[in-house]
Amino acid sequence: MLYIGIDLGTSSVKLLLMDEAGKIKNIVTKEYPISFPKPGWSEQNPLDWFYSLMEGLKELVQERDKKEVNGISFSGQMHGMVILDKEDKVIRPAILWNDGRTWEECNYLNETIGREKISAYTGNMALAGFTAPKLLWVKRHEPDNFKKISKVMLPKDYIAYRLSGVHSTDVSDASGMLLFNVKEKCWSGEMLEIAGLKEEQMAKVYESYEVTGTLRADIAKELGFPLDCKVIAGGGDQAVAAVGTGTVGSGMCNVSLGTSGVVFVASKDYSQIKDNALHVFAHADGRYHFMGVMLSAAASNKWWMDEVLKTREYVKEQEAIPDLGKNNVYFLPYLMGERTPHNDPDARGTFVGMTMDTTREDMTQAVLEGVAFALRDSFEIVKETGLSVKRIRINGGGAKSPLWCRIIANVLNVKVDKINSGEGPAFGAAILAAVGCKEFISVEEAAARLIKVTETTEPEEEIVRRYEKKYAVFKEIYPALKPVYKRMAEEQD
């Protein structure tokens, strides 16, 4: 049997074909445009997603027995707002996760309604990227469009609807809408009332591995797939990426060292996080997860190498870095502001501690260490939940650097594992499809059978001690500079 994982990203859709043994048979990527109608706005036409998807599906299986395709599932960019009218036609372009127009709506939710109430209703606070503030924006600025809303959908759920004819979503993606009671895994009546919506305008909620329907007859015919090909709910990109790295169960942790940085910890139980310092979402394995996000992880190193040093010799630049834990230069990696734990869009990248003998290597090392320290900020909040994390799995472009993995192992004082798959969300979606089709008993069983550790970096006792002292200094720098960042932002305005 064959299973398809679809990862609907911001700039492209990635499709992965997997057999029942977990072997990847083919991968196809199709790009689509993104528009920025005004500064800070970010939109896409959902029809572009669907047309790219159909083109990709045909290419993915063109040399395969199409009748072997047993199930399809999804990973998707989270928080995006797709609104449909009573004829299921798209009302306006989707407002994406990285759109920043809703700051007034977020202030209304967090300050006027109250952050404590919002958190009690959903488990999280209002952020500009979330779906509920987008709906309030449409209600205020485009009232005619708001009145037309028959269904509110997330990006991946729209393409799932186009394939199956079913309005569905899953618990992990719904968790990022700020309309969902994460603890109880149901729509929040209080939040729907605040948004001016009724529950019948929301999609039916499933666990990520549950079957929501089968392919529409016309879609199955066009693709050559069997009529009983199952459509499985899927999940938000980070949750499904975690499935693809085997970060399921309880206490498992994955660190994504991509453009942004993510600390993702699976938990069997729901837990409210003080001050909403971490996202608390339902997980694609049927349980829960905590997630801390830093905005400039590998992006910080890319900026330093490409824009400042003007080099693409990433490996060469790291070769001359001296002993770890002895560098007296610090770097705050807040080039695009910061989310966890500061939630401060005004924060900026900052070097501290340079002297006349500071070298190029010191500065490069400070960038790598600064990202590791910022990841530890999230890691420390995870510890406060009572979860004990002794090892992490690492993925993303930055994970290709052995030095960076070694720094992270020592800053976090954990074992750092690399695994046999680097496909993340698309592979995780294919696993969910296989679980939904009963190829595996559970997501945990599938992950245990298909995902293996290939390399481990161990923390070193002496370097761990050095970094403990360095991290204590790092934690003091942002609070000291916060008023300066605020003043700089005011002057720019």
Tokens of 192: 């729907």
Which is nearest to 318 in space by CA: 364, 358, 371, 363?
A: 364
- CA 143, 149, 154, 155 torsion-angle sign: negative
399 in Cβ contact with 257 (< 8 Å)? yes
CB-based burial, 399-416: b 16+ in 10 Å, e otherwise: bebebbbbbbbbbbbbeb
Q: At what angle do helices 360-384 and 402-412 cross, to 10 degrees?
A: 40
- For residue 233 the two structure tokens come to 């709910």
Which of 209, 283, 277 lies closest to 242, judged by CA?
Answer: 283
Q: How many C-alpha atoms does 393 have within 13 Å on its Cβ side? A: 25
DSSP state of 36: -
Beta strands in 165-207 (DSSP E): 168-170, 180-181, 186-187, 204-206
Q: Is 342 annotated as a binding residue?
A: no
Largest CA distance in the chain: 71
3-state secondary structure of 346: coil
- Nearest CA among 229, 230, 247 for reference residue 238: 247
> Half-sphere exposure (CA, 13 Å, Cβ side) for 488?
13
CA separation for the pair 78, 130 (Å, rounded): 8
- CA separation for the pair 341, 243 (Å, rounded): 25
Q: Helix 425-436 and helix 443-450: axis angle, to 10°? A: 120
In order of 35, 44, 70, 160, 381, the CA distances from 93 in angstroms are 9, 6, 32, 18, 37
Residue 240's identity, in one-letter code, is V
CB 122 within 8 A of CB 179: yes
* Rounded-to-integer distance, Cα 425 and Cα 266, Å: 16
**Helices of type H across 307-401:** 314-319, 360-384
Please indicate if the annotation marks 78 as binding a ligand. Answer: yes
Given a contact cutoff of 8 angstroms between Cβ atoms, the answer to whether 206 and 171 are in contact is yes
3-state secondary structure of 125: coil
- So which residues are the catalytic ones? 237
Annotated binding-site residues read 78-79
Annotated binding-site ranges for substrate: 78-79
